A = this chain, B = another copy of it.
Amino acid sequence: MFLSCVLLAIRCLTSFNAMKYLNQTEAINVDQELFNEYKFSVDQLMELAGLSCSHAIAKCFAANEHKRVLVCCGPGNNGGDGLVCARHLSLMGYLPKVYYPKPTPNSLYENLTHQCKAMNIEFLETCPPSELLNKSYDLIVDALFGFSFKPPVREAFVPIIKALQETRLPIASIDIPSGWHVENGKNDECCFEPSLLISLTAPKLCAKLYKGPHHYLGGRFVPPALKEKYQLDLPEYPGTETCVKL
């Protein structure tokens, strides 16, 4: 019994140590290879990424206790993952609303927005102050900035980042807690700690510094040869799961 506990501990420790945390350049390169070498479309991977985020959220925050969700979407792919996530949350019985201050003017994002609206997901015009946020929602999904973010935070996003710092609601961050440095984590401009971090494809360096209770990996689409090339040593996804607890 004692021996098997020790062996399990060693296994956990080695598997934890082995998993690769990507720096910003590696994250960009892995992403580019998925599109350029493996010929995935953004639609495909965004759908799988957003779906896995909604599943990780459902595992940590049940719909009956965290029904009212504000999904905050940024102007890039992270925001697109958020729009997909909002749609799947809605299909799972949540009541998401979306705050999307800088909609991206291309057909992919316009269609993702349309799909949400056609499912009666409301889009907020202005950023709710943190007091109102605390009263009106049970959970915030932070899909503002991803791994290609470089500070400073643009003016349009300053109020929502402030609200994320001040709120007492649980926050689920997609890929990177927004405003964190992709490699160095918290900084003067942004220092909130999400209750759930969902790393996509592979965790980025800043995830090593994450101290919150729930860390998941999502985006079960990485081809074995790409895993090997970047020596990602990702954990096994169990059964048909789209996400795995780290």
Interface residue ranges, A against B (CB under 8 Å): 37-41, 43-44, 47-48, 51, 54-55, 58-59, 91-92, 108, 110-111, 114-115, 118-120, 220-221, 223-225, 237, 239-240, 242
Are A240 and B118 neighbours in the complex by a CB distance under 8 Å? no
Beta-carbon contact of A224 and B120 below 8 Å: yes
A40 touches B115 (CB 8 A): yes
- CB-defined contacts of A40 to chain B, threshold 8 Å: 111, 115
Interface of chain A: mostly helix, strand, loop or mixed: helix
With a cutoff of 8 Å between Cβ atoms, the chain B residues found around residue A242 in the complex are 240
Give complex CA distance A108, B44 in Å: 11
Q: Please, which residue of chain B has its CB at the minimum distance from the CB of A56?
A: B240
Interface centre among A41, A92, A242 (most CB of B within 10 A): A41
Shortest Cβ gap from A84 to chain B (Å): 8
In the assembled complex, the Cα of A184 lies from the Cα of B114 at a distance in Å of 37
List residues of chain B with CB within 8 A of the CB of A221: 91
A241: shortest Cβ distance to chain B, in Å? 8
Minimum Cβ distance to chain B for residue A8 (Å): 22
Contact of A58 with B240 in the complex, beta carbons under 8 Å: yes
CA distance A54 to B221 in the complex (A): 13
Write out the residue numbers on chain B whose beta carbons fall within 8 Å of the beta carbon of A59: 240
Question: Smallest CB–CB gap between A113 and chain B, Å?
Answer: 9
What residues on B are CB-neighbors of A120 within 8 Å? 224-225
Known: A48-B47, A91-B221. A239 touches B58 (CB 8 A): yes
Question: Which residue of B is nearest A38, CB measured?
Answer: B118
Q: A41-B108, A43-B47, A58-B239 are in contact. List 10 more A-B contacts (CB 8 A).
A: A39-B118, A41-B43, A43-B44, A44-B44, A48-B51, A59-B240, A92-B240, A118-B225, A119-B224, A119-B225
